[in-house]
Each structure stands twice: as C-alpha cells, then as structure tokens.
Structure 1
Amino acid sequence: MFDVCVVGGGTMGLFLAAEQSARGKSVILLEAGRSPGENKDQLLGSRPVRGSHRGSEQAWTTGLGGTSQLWGGQLWPWQDWEFAGLPQKGISAWPLDFGDVSPYYERVLRALGLPATHAQIHGRFGFASKLPTVPVGDYSLKYSSWIDRSRRNFGKNAAIRAQLRNVTVRQGAVVNRINETGSGTAHIELRDDSGALSTVSAKKVVLAAGTLGNARILRNSEVSQDLPALGRGFLDHVSKRIARVDVLDWNKFRAFSAPKSVRGVLASPRIVPGVTLLNAHQLLPCYAHWEFASPSSGAVASLRALLRAGQTGEPRPPLSTTLANMWGESGELIEAVARSVRYRERPVPTSSKPYLRLDVQQPTRHDVQLTWSGNNAEPDFPNLSLAWRTGREEDATAHAITHRLVDFLNSLDIGAAVHELPPGDTFEDIFHMMGGTRMSGTPAEGVVDPDCKVFGTASVFVAGASVFPSGGMANPTFTALALTARIGDKIAD
C-alpha cells in the first residue's frame, strides 16, 4: 500500500507527487497517456458533446506534463476580494479566504525553482516593484509574470523531476473509479492499455486528472450518489477584442504597453478596473491587456513557433523558413531587439497590429454543468455533455467598461490613439476550465470541503481548478497550484 496515490501526471499531479516524495512519502502516480493526447476521450467519457466550448477539446492533453505541455506559463496571484466573491453579481464566495491561500504562492515559486523576482513583480510578498504604473484612480496597472519556457512543461521541469526519482509512475493507466473501505483506505480501479483491470490501494488519493477527468472519475465512484452538486458550476474566463490602436509614437507606446523583462523574468501589464468602479456600475470583474497581432509568416511568429516546439514536443518549423522570415523583416526586427536590450522590453515590431482585449470573469451558473448519460457498451465511460454559455452579464460588462476604458487610455500620454471596435464580436472561452467539483461548506452545495477533501470520504482529495466555486479575475493556474500545495500539508497532517 502506498501513502499517496496521485491520479493524473499533469500540472497539479506532478507538482503534488514531487512535493509528497520530498516529504518522504511513498507515492504512486497514475497517468492515462504514454504520449501527448493518448486516452483523452477515455478521461472525458464516450462521445463527448462540448457545445461551443473550445478549451474542452483544444486546451488540455495527456502524457507526463499534462496541460503544462501547452501552458503559456502565466502566473497571476489573486487578491483578497476575489475569494470573497460578489454575491450581487452571482459570483460565489469561497469557504476560505485569501489568508488561507496566500502563503502558498511563494511556496509554489520555491518548489518550481523560480526566482524571487516573480514575487517582486506581483508586489505580493514584501517587494516594491519598479515597473511602470498609471495614475491612481479607477484603474491600476498590475503585472503577471511568466515562467521561462524551460520550466513550463512540468514533465521537463528540473526541480520537479529531481523529486520524482522515488515516485512509482504508471503510464497508460486510465482510472475508472475510487472506492473507500471502512478504515478510510482508498482503492483505485484502473485499466491498462489492453483493457485489463487492476487496483491500487493508498492511504490517501488525490484526483488531479483535470477539470473534466476529476468529475468523470467521481461520477463513477460510489460517493457520487451523495454529491448532488457534482458537475455543477462549470466556469471559464471569456475574452474578446474591444478596441484597435493607432500608434503615433512607437517608442512611447512600447514603453507603456510592451511586456518588460525584470531580472530575466517577463512581466506583462494588465489594466485592472478597481472594485469601487465595478460595484458602482454592477460590472463583473475584468481586466484589459494589449494584443499584438503579427503576420503568421512574420519573423516574430516564426520565432515563437520555434520556441514553443521545444515545450510542446511538436515538430519544429524548418529553420530555413524561420531565417527567411527573419531576413524579410530584418530592419524592424533589429530595431525591436535593440530596443528590448536597451529598455528590457519584449520585442514588438512596428509591423504588428495592436488591439485592446478584455477578459471577463463569468458569474456562477448552476445550469452550466457537466452531465453524463448511460453507455451500455462501456458503463465506465458514460457520454459526457458539456453545457457552457455566456450571458447578458458578460455583454453588459463589456459594453459598460469599453467606453470608459478607451476614454481613460486616451487621456494618458501613451503615444497612441485607442478606438472602440463595434460590439459585434462575441466572447470566446480562453481555456481556463474550472468548476464541476466545486468547494463549499456543505455537501448540498459542493463536492469538496475547504481542505479539498471529497465530502463523505476520509481519504479522497481533489486538486486543480475543478474545485473553484468562482473563477477569480483571471488565470487560475497559480491559485490552483497554491491550493495543491495546501493539500500537501493537509495530507501530511
């Protein structure tokens, strides 16, 4: 019997397995895929119906590293009010607060071997950032930081791999269900590549199979009959372009808008409306950020594709094509790189087309959920139906904030004129799947308690954004990792 069984070898699973192994626990990690994408549909259930949600198909994968193989590496710590929720806007409060989670942000940075510069950028842990700011008022300029590409894929992250040496790893293992004995021992039923069934026993088991996988496994388990909220409250963040930008002075505009390098760590500015403004106009939490659209055949796009291939394992574009694209734009590329060296900015060539994009937090909707129907041929893999939608609340927020934000930016001397786009574009999900095994104070309203332990069990925990009762302003991965580190403490206790 193992001390801990971790189901899922993705972002949360590898992080927790490494953390528990470092504590001296005997750990087994079960990963569905031997290679990226293998057994994805078995984690979802047979014939999944995804509706209009793109991320449920495009934004996650299997194999060691899981979704971190695709992850952009953005870190964004939440603020205290994001845990408190906005009940008047249908955004649920969490059954824990900022003080319960915030100490774990810094611990995540240490566990991943990341420099303290990330904490400095966020201004969270006693550091004063020297990055540009905007005048105090209805908006603030906050920064997200980015993990460098060599560490984003947790399957290749040196700090994590060093702690996995004593972990038993089984790939090609698709978990059907988890059951518990009277003593609290968990028994995990799984099937291998040939379809053969086997069982692993552990004192504690942590589901880290992603938002969709976590819900499907619990649905198959005996405990599901006592969890009426299972599958409810599926969430994402939504995004759309709201303005185009005419640049009048590229140097001045890049000084304000371009991502900055702080001691080798990339930091991107986000324009955040204050809580007072949101409450005064009954708006959903949101933030705006710059989008620099480059030609797909351009030098910058080619360089990004080359670098991304090293993270995802995808085929690298031909070097000859990359060099040809760079040569065709050599003048502006040299100018952009020279400026980036001098001012520590990310290169933004003048051929790129800037836009302003708005990301909005969705309200909690209980009718947006994961549901399953029977599958007589494979009862362990029921048919998944994902009901997801946007509503008038998101549209109302975009309508109300766009005019105010454009006027605000045009009142600043940023070297550009910002123009509203027609409101015709629809919101799209941005691949932040959350909810389905939501956290609550009672089993009538949630699936896990504030310690992320499944109601009605003594040994089953859930890690990842599936436990989120609300989505926060943006970017859930850093907070999900902090909660996973907190689970590690609860298991140790």
Structure 2
Amino acid sequence: MLDLHPRNEPAERLPVLLNSPPAPEAVFDLCVVGAGPAGLSLALEAARGGLRVLIIEAGLARKAVPPATRFAATTMRVLDHRRHAPLSETTRTGIGGTSWLWGGRCVPFESIDYELRAHVTFSGWPICPSDLAPWQNRAAEYLDCGSADFQTEPMSGWQSQAVSTSQQERWSRRPQLAPHLGAQVIAHPTVSVLTGAVATDVRFNPAGTAVTQLRVRWAGTEVPLTARDYVLACGGLATTRLLLHVQRREPAFFGGSDGPLGRYYMGHLTGSIASISITPPELFTELDFRQEEDGTYVRRRFTLMREAQIRGHLLHTSFYLGNLPFRDARHGSPTLSAFFLALTSPLIGRCLAGAETRRRNAGRPVGGWGAHLQNIARRPRRLPAEVAAIVRLRYLSSPRRSVFVIHNDRGTYALRYHAEQVPNPHSRVRCNGRTGADGLPGVDIDLRYSDQDVESVLRAHQLLDAELASTGVGHLIYDHPEERRSEAIRQQAMDGYHQIGTTRMSADPSAGVVDPDCRVHGFSNLFVASSSVFPTAGEANPTFMTVALAVRLAHHLTDPARRRSQRSERPGSGWGSPAAWPAQ
C-alpha cells in the first residue's frame, strides 16, 4: 500500500477548552481520563444519556504530542526495538489521542474471536457478539465510517469453504477525531474538558472498594477531582502504567503483584512474504477500494473461516492487496519508482509518507537506480496521471484517502497479512524501579512473539494459496525459499500501535483486571475503556471494537437502575486469591 502521512486539520476547527480545573467541591457523575477515540465516544454517549461528564486529558487541545517529549526514555523503556515501534510513532496525547496517527481502518470482531479455542491458550471472552451488536452502529457514527455493515457478496468466481472474500473493512471519512467528534463533545452542555492535566493517582475509600478521588497534575499543582464513576480511557500503556502506580502502594489490588495487570501484552503480526498473481488481472477492481454513495471507502479482504481456523489450529488472519516493494524496479510502475526515489530523500520522505511506509520501503534499489528511471521514462504519460489522481483523492477530495494500491498490468501485487497474536502472560509491561517526572513509575515494555504466532501466519498463506488454485483466480509467489519464510515473518513482527491485553477482561478476578462490564474487579465505580481490556487480539484493528465497548459502557453507566442503586449499594468485599503464574 501507499500509506501517506496523515494531514492535520486546520487549527481553527479544533475545540475551545476549559481554562482552569473545576472547583474542589464540584462532583461530576462521570470522570473520563483520556480524550482519544474511546474517551470521546464514551463521554458523548454518557452525556447524551443525562450524565454530567468531566474529561481529563494529559495533552493539549491544538497540538498532538508524542509521549517521548514529556518523559525521559528510561520512564517508558522498550526492551526490544525490533518488536515494538518507538512510542513517538505509536502514541499521541491531546484531544483526539492516537486518532492523529490512525489511518481510519474499521473492522469488527467475528464470532470465533470471542470463543474459548482449544488451540489458543488463554482465549475466550466473557461476552459474546450479541453483547456488542447493539452498539456497533453508534461506533460507526462516532468514527464516521458509514454504516456498521461489514459484509458483501463473495468475489466473482470465488467458492471456498476455508477462506472468505465477503468481509469488507470500512475506512473513516475523518480519522482525526478532534475537529468533529472532539468538537461535538466539548460543545455538549453537560461536558467539561480540562487539558494539560496528567492523572497521577487514584484514591480509595477505607475499605478499598470504591474510588473517592482522582488526583491530577495541572500547571504544576496537584488538583483533586471527584465523581461518582471513573473511567480510564488514556490508552493501553498509559492506563496500565497508572494502575501499576496504584499497585505499588496497594500490592493486593488488581489480582496482586503477580496477577494479570500488565501481562498478555499483544498487538498483531503484519507484513508481506509473498505477492499474489490475480487471474484475470481485471479482478483487481473487486479487491481494490470502492467508494459507497455516502463517500465511505470500503475494501474486500481474504479472511480465514471459523471451521478452517479450528481444523488447522490457526490464529485469525486476514489478507489484502498492497503495492509491490517500491525499491524493486521489477514492478514496472513509473509511479512506484517515482515514490521510491522521493522516499530516499529524508526531508521529502517524511512529508510524503508515514514512518511504517518509509521503513517498509527503505533500502537499496533492486535492479539499480537506472531501472527506476527507465520505469518512469517508459510510461511518461502514466506517471502524471496517477500522481494527479492521488493528489486529488488525498488532498482535494472529501473524504480524503491516505492509502492507495497502484494498478499494474501484470495483475501482481504484494499480499499483506494482518494476523492475530496468541495471548502470552510473559509478554508484558512492568515497573522498572524508576519514577517519571510526573510521579508515575517507569515501565519496561516487553512485547514478545511466539513460534505459534509465526507458524500460524505461514500456514495461513499455504491455505490461501491452495484456495486460490482451486478456484482458479490466482496463486502466490513467495519472496523467500520455504526454509526462510518463517524467519521472514519473525523479522517483520513488530507492533506497539495496538496496545492490547494488559488490563484484560475476565469474569474471574484472578484471571483478569476488568469484568464483562469493563469494571475493575473489586471496585464499584472504576472502569477501563481501552483495547487493553481485550482478552484476545483477533485479526481486526482494535479501534472500532474499542469504541463499541466504550459506547456499551456508557449505556451501563447511564442505566437508571444502576444510578439509583449507587446511592444505597455496599460494594463487595474484595479480590479473593491472586492467580498463580508460571515462573518467568
């Protein structure tokens, strides 16, 4: 894919925010920590349900800031930079949160993603698809991706009992959420928003069963904030870091120091080890982006069916078309060659494409510099036409597109995969003994990939290749000999963009941090709205699911019966025994 760098919306369209903290005596119905996709969606839905909401955001209103600019490198330390992208590339603070980096891809989970699967250790959600189905249309509204319809007719000539071509991803028309969703939130009469406020501590009642106060640092001073309910929606790593800080003071909280908090850190496996040759080449149009009447872009994908996953002991995996490597002149495309030559300039490259695209297409040219110049000279009229179309769709159209697959006459494209990672309790985030300038603990980020993750991706390719052959619509061309393919997958395994699993959901307090309602076990009024609550990662990008869960949580918090019971209920007595974890 040609994934162009996100372009910021004009500053004058961004919202205006509070100038100072609320009065100490103010008591809100709901305090939301974080103004990213989950926090904004939850706050607006709760406000529409009648709650008085306070949003606390560590960043600024008019500028998205990487966390590395606020914390020393030792505060949040990535242990293996081959596996985890730099935090400066994966996280933003400010209104809109990491939506400033988000490409806009929206994909739901499928039924198998919720299931307890024998071949996936620690799998199984305590909720099912019907628990989230009622909230998916609202999530689509907040993310501006059209409807919540993610199914389409199979591709022409496709008949398979193992691989589906009926699932389509939807793309947000406005993936940077601050100018539209953020503005709606702040314009709501029962929402207050305070920026530049870092949540530094959570205080509890003497019984340790309910939150009584959130403390934030604003303009160099500690400010107490009070609400009936509190939701941590500050991102997977930030939420985990705050809870680890509380656990340093209260070791028995959240399942104990050897419990689930910070464990099961997951993302996805992405990359390409093969190209796909489509027969006939015209089928490309069925696998390329398509624009619906409302302007939303959608795209068909290859996905593994449930029975094939169970039968083959495979993790959930999807495939979609991408551009052949820019640096390989054998693609014959004048446009890809021109983009490669532009990316070799650090200044132009940073303006033209995101970090992941630059990293994927870096390196010495295959075929030499002259071969790229020959591609451009061979089709001199095609280059300006394709570049003009990209410029029009990226900068002049509404909605804008940031991802493009350039059509080629050969019908051969890179086959990109997006695969599930198995939950692993040793893949984790933990305190490193340091303390940041904000008073929160330093953490070591240890993202690990397993042999099962890698081998599943390889066998998923083999299954797709067999189905392509049996249907007569194409075949795979591998980039490496068979004995080197697993290593190629492992070398490309890197995430950190999708911060999943470290506050996982479970009905059992010893096995998870939050319950099926996203309430932190043991506390009556503390909740988490983040992809960090996912017990498994599925193959889907997590943003759509995170927002659907946030909308569902908002309805739980606004339920009239629950609000009445808050005045009289006595929270439960606590945690029970912590889980026994295998030795490191």
TM-score by length of 2: 0.71
Equivalent positions of 1:31-430 (< 5 A) are 31-34=57-60, 35-37=63-65, 39-40=67-68, 41-42=70-71, 46-52=75-81, 53-55=83-85, 57=87, 58-112=89-143, 114-116=145-147, 119-120=148-149, 122-123=150-151, 129-130=152-153, 132=155, 134-141=158-165, 142-148=167-173, 151-157=174-180, 159-165=181-187, 166=189, 167-181=191-205, 184=210, 186-194=212-220, 196-221=221-246, 225-227=252-254, 228-246=259-277, 250=281, 252-263=282-293, 264-293=295-324, 294=326, 295=336, 297-298=338-339, 329-332=383-386, 348-350=406-408, 354-375=413-434, 380-414=439-473, 417-422=475-480, 423=485, 424-425=487-488, 426=490, 427-430=492-495
Cα-to-partner distance string for 1:441-470 (whole Å, 9 max, x where unaligned): 122111111110111211110001011111
* 1:69 counterpart letter in structure 2: W
| Unaligned runs of at least 5 residues, structure 1 | 124-128, 310-325
Q: What is the rounded CA distance, in whole Å, between the counterparts of 2:117 and 2:168 in structure 1?
A: 23
Structure 1 residue 418: Cα displacement: 2.8
Instruction: State the distance in 1 between where 2:391 and 2:66 align.
Output: 39
Identity %: 24
* 2:573 maps to 1:482: no
Given the superposition, is the C-alpha separation of residues 68 and 44 from structure 1 closer, same or farther in structure 2, using an over 3 Å criterion?
Answer: farther
Letter in 1 for 2:429: L
Contact 2:269–2:418 (8 Å) recurs in 1: yes
**Unpaired segments ≥5 residues, structure 2:** 1-26, 327-335, 355-379, 398-402, 560-584
Deviations 1:222-254 (A, max 9, x none): 56632221111111111221212456764x142
Instruction: Report what 1:321 is aligned to.
Output: none
CA shift, 1:362, in A, is 1.1
1:332-380 Cα offsets, whole Å, 9 max, x none, are 5579999xx9xxx976343997211222211111111111032368693
Indicate the residue corresponding to 1:447 in structure 2: 513
CA distance in 1: counterparts of 2:349 and 2:427, whole angstroms: 35
CA distance in 2, matches of 1:398, 1:81: 17
Question: Post-superposition shift, 1:490?
Answer: 1.4
Work out the number of aligned pairs and report it: 458
Aligned partners of 2:322 and 2:405 also within 8 Å: no
AA partner of residue 155 (structure 2): P
Asked if structure 1 preserves the Cα contact closer than 8 Å seen for 2:169 and 2:300, the reply is yes
**1:465 correspondence with 2:531:** yes
Q: Which has the larger radius of gyration?
A: 2
User: Could you state the TM-score of these two structures normalised by the residue count of structure 1?
Assistant: 0.83
Q: Are residues 46 and 306 of structure 1, via their aligned partners in 2, closer, same or farther at CA, if it must alter by over 3 Å?
A: closer
Q: Secondary structure at the match of 1:152?
A: coil
My pick for the range that moved more, 49-58 or 446-455, is: 49-58
Once the 2 structures are TM-superposed, how far is the Cα of residue 184 of structure 1 from its aligned partner? Answer: 3.9
Q: Which amino acid aligns with 2:48?
A: A
What's 1:318 paired with? none
Q: Any idea what the Cα deviations from partners look like across 1:186-215, whole Å, max 9, x if unmatched?
A: 311111243x21111111110001000001
Distance 1:308 1:103, change over 3 A: farther
What is the match of residue 374 of structure 2? none
